[in-house]
Structure 1
Amino acid sequence: MDTNTPAPTVWPTLQARDCPALIAFLVEAFGFVKTAVYRDGDRIAHAQLDWPEGGGIMLGSHKPDGQWSRQPGTFGGYVVTDHVDEIYQRARTAGATIVCEPAQQDYGNYEFVAADPEGNLWSFGAYRGEPRT
């Protein structure tokens, strides 16, 4: 296996009305890394944004008649990070809509929630899930 290829993970997908603008926002506001963008004319056919701490997302321009069509603005994702406060400040500075301020949750997570310009919700927290038994 190529050492530059990440191990298998879950990669959520979403579509956007203005995919180039959403990509720029996700990079600036949250810190995703733009890894690949494939265009089909003025549309984004496929883009890969990596999360620096592992995994990432895939997205593209909304294609209502497409076989894999998702309604823009309906995505919700949880992103694991050891840097909740730094990402919160970055998101605020970039103009993200903060839905829930950083807070400690009853089950032990520390997280905040923000909306992107398309209306998708992003939760950033330190909770990595429960160990498998």
Structure 2
Amino acid sequence: MSSTAANPERISTDNHAPNVWPCLAYTDARGAIRFLVDTLGFTESACYGDGDTVDHAELTWPYGGGVMLGSAGRDTPLDQHADSGSVYLVVPDSALADALYEKVRASAATITVELRDEDYGSHGFSCRDPQGVYWSIGTYAGHGFGE
């Protein structure tokens, strides 16, 4: 085991592409993209496919990272998990968490955890998008990153 693995330290991600991309399959991938862009604030950076089928899409999160998604039914391993999953999104401050909470409340998504302050310092909430995927939004950036 390397010393980095045994004693992990914060690694700078400045000037590096995100290296963790959750991958999701949706029955209605185009609808999922609309929700993620219009309601949560992702940016569609790539989308390939014809008609209602999305072969591959990349959505970037304005505060770092992103998600990849595609249509279910394309005979991929993700098909077994279509319209399921859970993703956590970090926002830079409580005001943005509050604003996103209001946008989600006004959408077709379901709030599953009301807006609240956590004992570990996060301010946020959780929702389930119109197709069933869970999204948690909060100010907690992870141990060692939000300091």
TM normalised by structure 2 equals 0.79
SS at structure 2 position matched to 1:23: helix
Q: Which runs of 5+ in 2 are unaligned?
A: 1-14
Q: Equivalent residue for 2:60?
A: 50
Distance verdict in 2 for CA 1:28–1:6, change over 3 Å: farther
Question: Percent identity at matched positions?
Answer: 41
Deviation at 1:15, TM superposition (A): 0.2
**Aligned residue identity for 1:111:** G
**SS of corresponding position for 2:120:** coil
Match of residue 108 from structure 1: 121
For the structure 1 residues 6 and 94, does the alpha-carbon distance in structure 2 shift closer, same or farther, using more than 3 Å as the test? farther
Aligned length: 128
Report the Cα offset of residue 101 of structure 1: 1.1
1:29/1:90 contact within 8 Å kept: yes
1:29 pairs with 2:39: yes
Shift of 1:73: 2.1
Structure with the bigger percentage of helix: 2
Write out per-residue CA displacement over residues 8-35 of structure 1, whole angstroms, 9 at most, x where no aligned residue: 3311000000111111111111111111
The answer as to 2:26 corresponding to 1:13 is: no
> Which stretch shows the higher mean deviation, 102-111 or 37-46?
37-46
Unaligned runs of 5+ in 1: none
1:6 to partner: Cα distance: 5.5
The residue that corresponds to 1:121 in the other structure is: 134
Structure number with larger C-alpha Rg: 2
- Aligned alpha-carbon RMSD (Å): 1.9
1:9 aligned counterpart, secondary structure? coil
- Residues of 2 paired with 1:51 and 1:99: CA distance? 21
Structure 1 stretch displaced more, 5-14 or 32-41: 5-14
